[in-house]
């Protein structure tokens, strides 16, 4: 049977197509690495959800274009005006609830089912990955549907889509709660970082999807994995802070590039 042409075969056809799709490796290396891998890590940023209608954070139409970071995304802003902060996050929660996972989310969910060892690390708080089917996922920036107690640190599912009269309180100790979001100036969960670093040290392939790298954590993760022998694939229509460390850069939107790449991997397996 004739082998099905892969996306990485097609990008070799013309210089223009190659430049628009990918830099660095120009062979079928990415497909080969994914086909041979047993352990895969996927790291996602806001770009993976943009095709679901959720704006990225930066840019003219981004989340921060209509809000001040210091007002709605810092502990100090919450202390000054918790009602305003809660109302802002509840508006976002309602907007996210109407979004649906796109083909990029579906491929990442399929990868989890395919590989014996898999980890998804996401900066996104929109829950689209779990709605697409991912379960081996660490939401390192939090979750828009959850709240955290200011007294006992209990994390719980927030039942409210509008702000109740007495604000949102902990079901365990009844103290006030805040959105379970990692704000500017706050530290990552050290237990999550330890788990991620342990997995990255032994992973075969890392895909970095839809992150600019302005928040440098994905850059660190990619470089750490690369130093431990992983093959790094970036999926981003733009050059990012991750690009210089990637072996392969697929320069298309995730909703286009990931399905094509995964189809090629599955074709190789047949």
Q: What pTM does this model have?
A: 0.87
Catalytic residue chosen out of the listed positions 105, 141, 247, 249: 141
Residue 49: the pLDDT is: 97
Q: What is the pLDDT of residue 213?
A: 85
**pLDDT attached to residue 11:** 32
Structure confidence by residue, pLDDT tens digits, 102-140: 999 999 999 999 999 999 999 999 999 999 999 999 999
Known binding-site positions for substrate: 89, 92
**Is residue 264 within 8 Å of residue 7, measured between CB atoms?**
yes
Annotated binding site: 45-64, 89, 92, 123-126, 149, 152, 170, 173, 210-212, 236-238, 254
Binding-site positions for NAD(+): 45-64, 123-126, 210-212, 236-238, 254
The string of pLDDT tens digits covering residues 58-89 is: 545 545 446 688 999 999 999 999 999 999 99
**CA-based end-to-end distance of the chain:** 10
176 C-beta neighbours (distance < 10 Å), count:
16
pLDDT band at 15 (very low <50, low <70, confident <90, very high): very low
Known binding-site positions for Zn(2+): 149, 152, 170, 173
Q: Are 173 and 9 in contact (CB under 8 A)?
A: no
The reply to whether 141 belongs to the active site is yes
CA distance 111 to 116: 10
Is 87 buried (19+), middle (13-18) or exposed (0-12) by CB count in 10 A?
A: middle
In the chain, % of residues over pLDDT 90: 79
The closest alpha carbon to 210, from 11, 19, 54, belongs to 54
Measured in degrees and rounded to the nearest 5, phi and psi for residue 227 equal: -65, -20
pLDDT digits (tens, 9 = 90+) for 140-188: 999 999 999 999 999 999 999 999 987 899 999 999 999 999 999 999 9
The structural domains of the chain, ordered by start, are: 1-54+101-141+188-270 (3.40.50.1220), 55-98+142-181 (3.30.1600.10)
Please tell me which residue, 165 or 194, carries the higher pLDDT value.
194
CA pair distance 180, 152, nearest whole angstrom? 13
Q: Report whether pLDDT(8) > 80.
A: no
Predicted confidence (pLDDT) per residue in 33-62, tens digit: 999 999 999 999 999 999 999 987 554 554
Portion of the chain with pLDDT greater than 70, in percent = 85
Q: Which ranges in the chain belong to alpha helices (H)?
A: 7-10, 15-21, 29-36, 47-50, 69-72, 75-80, 82-97, 103-114, 128-132, 190-200, 217-227, 254-269
Q: CB within 8 A of 215, min separation 6: which ones? A: 45, 123
- Identify the top-confidence range among 6-10, 18-22, 186-190, 209-213: 186-190
Residue 269: predicted pLDDT:
60
């Amino acid at each position: 049977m004739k082998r099905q042409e892969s996306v990485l075969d097609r990008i070799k056809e013309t210089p223009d197509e190659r430049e628009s799709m990918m830099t660095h490796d120009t062979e079928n290396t990415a497909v080969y690495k994914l086909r041979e891998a047993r352990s895969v890590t996927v790291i996602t940023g806001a770009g993976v959800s943009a095709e679901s209608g959720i704006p990225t954070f930066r840019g003219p139409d981004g989340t921060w274009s209509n809000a001040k970071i210091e007002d709605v995304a810092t502990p100090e802003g919450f202390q000054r005006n918790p009602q305003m902060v809660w109302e802002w996050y509840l508006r976002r929660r309602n907007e996210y609830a109407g979004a649906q996972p796109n083909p990029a989310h579906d491929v990442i969910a399929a990868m989890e089912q395919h590989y014996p060892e898999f980890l998804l690390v996401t900066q996104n708080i929109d829950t689209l990955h779990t709605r697409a089917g991912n379960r081996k996922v660490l939401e390192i920036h939090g979750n828009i549907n959850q709240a955290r107690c200011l007294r006992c640190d209990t994390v719980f599912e927030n039942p409210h889509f509008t702000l109740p009269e007495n604000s949102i309180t902990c079901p365990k100790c009844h103290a006030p709660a805040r959105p379970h979001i990692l704000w500017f100036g706050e530290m990552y969960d050290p237990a999550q970082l330890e788990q991620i670093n342990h997995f990255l040290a032994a992973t075969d392939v890392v895909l970095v999807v839809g992150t600019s790298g302005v928040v440098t954590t994905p850059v660190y993760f990619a470089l750490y994995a690369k130093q431990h022998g992983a093959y790094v694939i970036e999926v981003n229509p733009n050059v990012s802070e991750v690009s210089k460390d990637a072996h392969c850069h697929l320069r298309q939107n995730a909703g286009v590039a990931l399905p094509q790449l995964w189809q090629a991997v599955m074709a190789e397996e047949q």
